[in-house]
Amino acid sequence: MKIERKLIQQNGLSIPSTVIEPSNSVGTVIIMHGFGGCKEEQLGLAWRVAEVGFTTCVIDLRGHGEHELPLDEEVVLEVETAIQYFRRYGKVIAIGHSLGGRLALLSTADYAIGLSPALNKTFSNQTQEIIKALRGYRVNEIYPNVNFEILNKLPEWQIGSNGNVKIIFGSRDVPEIISACNELKEKSVPVIEIDKALHNDIFLLELTFEKIIVQLKEWFKIL
């Protein structure tokens, strides 16, 4: 497989990324980290996805990693720019964690997987303080708490036909995420709960890898 660091330059944006390309690609997967994450955090998942036969691109959202711009509401444009860039190679799947999960589900990708997606518009003060303490120091924000303002202003994800989405969350996830995912389960949305998984490690677990790979193979009819 070919692995390279790439600067996606399109629509006036410059998005740092790492691309893993197998010899015979069946489609493209864009992977997005959550608040306080970075593309390097998702490389394990990216490698496992690429092994199945997908060109896989992990990006730094603005305010994170190597991205020079601070985190603000324009973060949505970067997701769409990456999807648009890779459409030249065929269908695109978006996979995202937390904030990235919300962005993946709201995106124009052909398929989407949300890992512990931050679906709520509002979060308790306790949750906000925990997230800021554990992850906020890694982020260059245009102003404090912009992450939660972004989540509040983003459109609510609409369930739709459910055929092209999958949601995965942890049994020890953020309380608001557990509640939102359980509500979706009751509405017959394809939701999987990973036992003992925490919000900040669900994208590193073998069972998560297995569930994602099974879904990708099903969507693309890979034996």
Does residue 49 belong to any structural domain of this protein? yes
Does residue 32 belong to any structural domain of this protein? yes
**CATH number of the domain enclosing 164:** 3.40.50.1820
Pick from 85, 84, 86, 33: nearest CA to 62: 33
In 19-145, which ranges are continuous DSSP H helix? Answer: 43-52, 75-86, 99-106, 125-135
Does residue 198 belong to any structural domain of this protein? yes
Regarding pTM above 0.85, the answer is: yes
The H-or-E segment that residue 92 falls in is strand 92-97
Is residue 86's pLDDT more than 70? yes
pLDDT at 223: 80
Pick from 191, 173, 195: nearest CA to 182: 191
Tokens for 183, please give them.
């509500």
pLDDT at 162: 62
If one counts the domains in the chain, the total is 1
Does residue 222 belong to any structural domain of this protein? no
pLDDT at 161: 59
- Looking at the chain, how many residues does it have? 223
The boundaries of the domain holding residue 194 are 2-217
Average pLDDT of the chain is: 95
**Average pLDDT of 24-32?**
95
Beta-sheet pairing, 28-32 with 92-97: parallel
* pLDDT more than 90, % of the chain: 92
pLDDT in tens, 159-211: 875 679 999 999 999 999 999 999 999 999 999 999 999 999 999 999 999 99
Tokens for 188, please give them.
């017959």
**Average pLDDT of 10-31?**
95
Does residue 31 belong to any structural domain of this protein? yes
**Average pLDDT of 126-133?**
92
Beta-sheet pairing, 13-21 with 55-59: antiparallel
Does residue 223 belong to any structural domain of this protein? no
Does residue 138 belong to any structural domain of this protein? yes
**Average pLDDT of 10-36?**
95
**Average pLDDT of 31-56?**
97
* pLDDT more than 70, % of the chain: 99
